[in-house]
Each structure stands twice: as structure tokens, then as C-alpha cells.
Amino acid sequence: MVLFIYKLSNAIMPQYIVRKVKIGKTLQLDELARAAGELYSRTIVSFWRTVRKKDVWLSGYSMEKWHISDKLHAHTSDAVTQSFYASLKSWRSRRKTDPNSKPPRRRRWFYKVIWKSSAIKLSGGKLRLSNGKGNQPLIFDWRWDKPKQIEMGWNRNSQCYELRACYPQPNVNPIKSSRTAAVDLGEIHPMVIADGINTDIYNGRLLRSKRQYQNKLKAQLSKLIDSKKRGSKRRKKLIKSKQKQLAKINNQIKDIEHKLTSKAVSILKERSIQTLVIGDVRDIRNNIDYGKKANQKLHQWNFGSIRQKLEYKCAKVGIQTELITEEYTSQMCLSCRRKNKPRNRNYRCSCGFKTHRDSVGANNIRAKYLGEVPVVGLMAEPSGIRWYPHIQCNSTFLRVEESPEFPELRSEAIHGE
Ligand SMILES: [Zn+2]
């Protein structure tokens, strides 16, 4: 089970922590998703028809009164209409800058089903999602808290439905200390974290090999697909297989990133770091041309997703994060501030200072942020942290990677209202 913050598509709610649980595929779930799709399509058709014929843009409120579904909870019906109006609103604001943007017009066979807190009940370890009078509720074994809102959507990778349970982000007391650490996100090492004394180098070999394999597989399968006739069964089969295989590697990469970042944050918390400075490398992709091979590496270098994971995991334990630009930081000597180009794994300066080349960047980011020269004498030898499948996170609060235990789906069993 992976916990993370993400923006709900319909923009009804601000940032929430979302717990995703796969729930399989049953007739009842299909029925619910279809009812939501039917209601959504009706809303969309009525809306545009009134615009066309009467030149009136109906309000969301009157639309909620007009169209409801008797197969869904009243508030679930409202949520379907609201999500149409949310996408309408986002189109209107997008239109100001992008004249080619298109309003929502597409009808849906299936649509996400949203249960608001009035339709969610939790008692005795059972979560009950009401679908309105006369309809069977959904009942799940649930070992977590009662969510604020639940959304049911289709998980394309696993070809099954999943619940996205939303919880408000907890207020965590910020860690009170003046200790600052900096992280250098890189391609060879996904993260190097320096806090003035310790420098931890996170090993990225596995992550790198997964990405290389991903590239190879992508190329091989694309070639194979191109050799098949368009529209043929064989081709369709191959395309499906390609998506499946790539999704698998993607999941493995995500898993490694989660484990590394969780480990890093738990170490930061243990050392009572209050602020984590992240070297901002966003420009690198746009500005520099290193040649075909290096470019592919750089473009795949997933600092964006690692940065995002670090940011929300830090927020969860009360560590602040700051972004700063990362110029020359990997070349400047920590002791005398001269610039040197490191040749091999070791960084050597004419002033006599030497260290592991990868620890220089993070220490310089930290120094730049604090506006002070690092005290070289205090620094310990950099230590390496490797990924291994059962890497432990020290803090229970951070143990977000549990084995995926899906609550048993009980929707087929008949439970009266
Ligand atoms: Zn020097």
C-alpha cells in the first residue's frame, strides 16, 4: 500500500493524502461505474443542448436538481455533476492562455464514483458505502480510519477497480532545530544528502539498470510491433503486452524510489533536521545538449518524482523543504572555494582538500543556502546507502510500503439497508 498526496482530478478538494486500495472487478462495481457514466453523459448532453438552443449556461445547482441517478447515493449524483462543472471551470481559465483548448464534451460509458462523507460509515472494522435507498451498499473490511471522501476509479495497470480514500493532511508539529541538510539529486546517485557532518550517498545502480532495461524493452517491442500489419490481431496483442511489461518496470522503479526516499526522510528525522534544501535541477533538461545517449539518460533521470516524494514525505514529519538553483555546485572546492573538474571518483583540489566527488554537490548546495563556508574539519567520510528489497525505515510513521493487502470484497454478499 502506498500513501501519497495527489490532486484529485475534479479539484473539489485541496491536497489530501490518498490511500489506494485495489478492489477487483464485480458486476456491482461495473453497474455503479456505468450509472455514474450514464449520469455524466446526461449532464453533458443537457448542458450543451441548453447552450445551443437557449443560449443559457445552466448553473451547477440547477443541473444537480435536474439530473440524478436512482442507482447512486444522492451526494454521489451531485459529485458527478460537480466534476463536470469543475472541468468546465478549468477549461474556462485555460482558454485565456490557450485558445485551442477544448471544453468537456465527451460522453462516458463509465465514470468515477465518489462517496462523500455522508455516504461513508465505519463500524466494527467494516466500511460501508451507501448507494442510496433500495440499492445494495458496498461493504469492505477496513483496518484504517474513516476517510473524508472515497473515489472509485479504474486502475488500468491492474485492470481492476480501485478505491482512493482521501484523508486530510495531518498537522504535524514542525521539528524545532536549526539543523539544515541539503540533497543533490543526480543521475549516478539518485540522492546525496549532506547535513554538515554526515554525507549519505544513496546508491542508484539498481534504479539505473531498471531504466536501461526499460529503454531496451521499449525499443525491442516497438520494433516488433512495427513489423506487424496495422489492425492485425497479432499487433493488438503485442501492444497490450508492451503496455503490461512497461507498467511492471514502472512499478518497480516507483517502489525503489519510495523506499529510498522513505529511508532518507527517516534518517533526516532521526538527526532532527529541520530544513531540507533541494538542489533545483529543473533547467538541465531544457538547456543542455550532451549528445543522444547522455540526453536520454538525463531525460529519464527522474529527479522530478524523487523530489516530489521527498517533499511530501518531509512535510509529513514536519521537515521543511526549500528549492535552490544548483549552479557550479558540483565543482567548487569545499575548503578554498576554487573550481575544479573532478576526473575520477575522487575530488582533489590544489589546496589539499580531497573527498568523494559526489559528496561535493550536496555540501555546496547546503553552503550556498546557508551562505556560509562549510567547516571541512567537522565532516565525516561520506557513507553509502544501498537499496535492498526489505530496506527498513526507522520511523513507524514512515512505514508506508506495506505489503499490498487488499480488503476482501464483500459486495456480492447481500446486506440489507
Ligand atoms: Zn581547495
pLDDT in tens, 52-82: 999 999 999 999 989 989 999 999 999 999 9
* Cα 359 to ligand 1 centroid, rounded to whole Å: 14
Check whether residue 186 and residue 78 sit in a common domain: no
Write out the residue range of the structural domain in which residue 75 sits.
Answer: 3-168
Q: Which residues, listed in sequence order, are joined to residue 155 by a DSSP beta bridge?
A: 160
Burial class (CB in 10 A: 0-12, 13-18, 19+), 273: buried
Residue 406 covered by a domain: no
CATH number of the domain within which 376 lies: 3.30.420
Residue 225, pLDDT above cutoff 70? yes
Residue 405 covered by a domain: no
Residue 4, pLDDT above cutoff 80? no
Which of 108, 138, 168 is at the close of a domain? Answer: 168
Coil, strand or helix at 79: helix
Residue 182, pLDDT above cutoff 60? yes
Check whether residue 141 and residue 31 sit in a common domain: yes
Residue 200 covered by a domain: yes
* Cα 338 to ligand 1 centroid, rounded to whole Å: 6
- Which pLDDT band holds residue 284 (cuts at 50, 70, 90)? low
Residue with the bigger pLDDT between 327 and 298: it is: 327
Kindly report, residue by residue over 77-130, the tens digit of the pLDDT.
999 999 999 999 999 988 888 888 899 999 999 999 999 999 999 999 899 999
Check whether residue 122 and residue 150 sit in a common domain: yes
H or E stretch at 153: strand 149-155
* Cα 276 to ligand 1 centroid, rounded to whole Å: 26
* Cα 331 to ligand 1 centroid, rounded to whole Å: 10
Residue 404 covered by a domain: no
* Cα 340 to ligand 1 centroid, rounded to whole Å: 8
Say what the pLDDT of residue 42 is.
96
Say what the pLDDT of residue 373 is.
77
**Cell reading at 47:** 448542458
Check whether residue 191 and residue 152 sit in a common domain: no
CA–CA gap between residue 135 and residue 156 (Å, rounded): 27
Say what the pLDDT of residue 291 is.
61
Residue 109 covered by a domain: yes
* Cα 347 to ligand 1 centroid, rounded to whole Å: 10
**Cell reading at 361:** 554537490
* Cα 349 to ligand 1 centroid, rounded to whole Å: 5
Residue 396, pLDDT above cutoff 70? no
Domains: count for the chain: 2
Check whether residue 86 and residue 199 sit in a common domain: no
* Cα 182 to ligand 1 centroid, rounded to whole Å: 21
Check whether residue 197 and residue 163 sit in a common domain: no
Question: Taking Cα atoms as reference points, which of 392, 380, 369 lies closest to residue 179?
Answer: 369
Residue 194 covered by a domain: yes
Check whether residue 20 and residue 156 sit in a common domain: yes
* Cα 76 to ligand 1 centroid, rounded to whole Å: 65
Residue 298, pLDDT above cutoff 80? no
User: Mean pLDDT over residues 15-25, rounded?
Assistant: 82
Asked whether 45 and 107 are in contact (CB, 8 A), the reply is yes
* Cα 309 to ligand 1 centroid, rounded to whole Å: 34
Kindly report, residue by residue over 23-50, the tens digit of the pLDDT.
889 999 999 999 999 999 999 999 999 9
Strand ranges of the sheet holding 138-141, from the earlier edge strand across to the other edge: 120-123, 126-129, 138-141
Q: Which residue has the cell 443560449?
A: 55
Residue 117 covered by a domain: yes
Q: Which residue has the cell 550532451?
A: 290
* Cα 341 to ligand 1 centroid, rounded to whole Å: 12
What letter would DSSP give residue 409?
B
**Cell reading at 200:** 549519505
**Cell reading at 32:** 455503479
CA 63 centroid distance within chain: 33
Strand ranges of the sheet holding 160-168, from the earlier edge strand across to the other edge: 3-6, 16-24, 160-168, 149-155, 113-116
* Cα 335 to ligand 1 centroid, rounded to whole Å: 5
Q: CA gyration radius for the chain?
A: 26
**Cell reading at 14:** 485541496
Check whether residue 201 and residue 315 sit in a common domain: yes
Which of 168, 198, 227 is at the close of a domain? Answer: 168
The sign of the torsion formed by the CA atoms of 181, 184, 190, 196 equals: negative
If one counts every other C-beta atom within 10 angstroms of the C-beta of residue 173, the result is: 7
| Average pLDDT in the chain | 81
CA–CA gap between residue 20 and residue 8 (Å, rounded): 13
Residue 191 covered by a domain: yes
Say what the pLDDT of residue 379 is.
80
**Cell reading at 283:** 533547467
Coil, strand or helix at 21: strand
Residue type, 392: Q
Check whether residue 358 and residue 255 sit in a common domain: yes
Residue 314, pLDDT above cutoff 60? yes
Check whether residue 314 and residue 268 sit in a common domain: yes
Check whether residue 161 and residue 273 sit in a common domain: no
* Cα 278 to ligand 1 centroid, rounded to whole Å: 24
Check whether residue 160 and residue 203 sit in a common domain: no
First to last CA, the chain: 30
Which of 110, 144, 168 is at the close of a domain? Answer: 168
CA–CA gap between residue 105 and residue 102 (Å, rounded): 8
* Cα 334 to ligand 1 centroid, rounded to whole Å: 6
Kindly report, residue by residue over 233-276, the tens digit of the pLDDT.
999 999 999 988 998 999 888 888 888 999 999 999 999 999 99
State what percent of residues in the chain have pLDDT above 90.
37
- Which pLDDT band holds residue 219 (cuts at 50, 70, 90)? very high
* Cα 187 to ligand 1 centroid, rounded to whole Å: 25
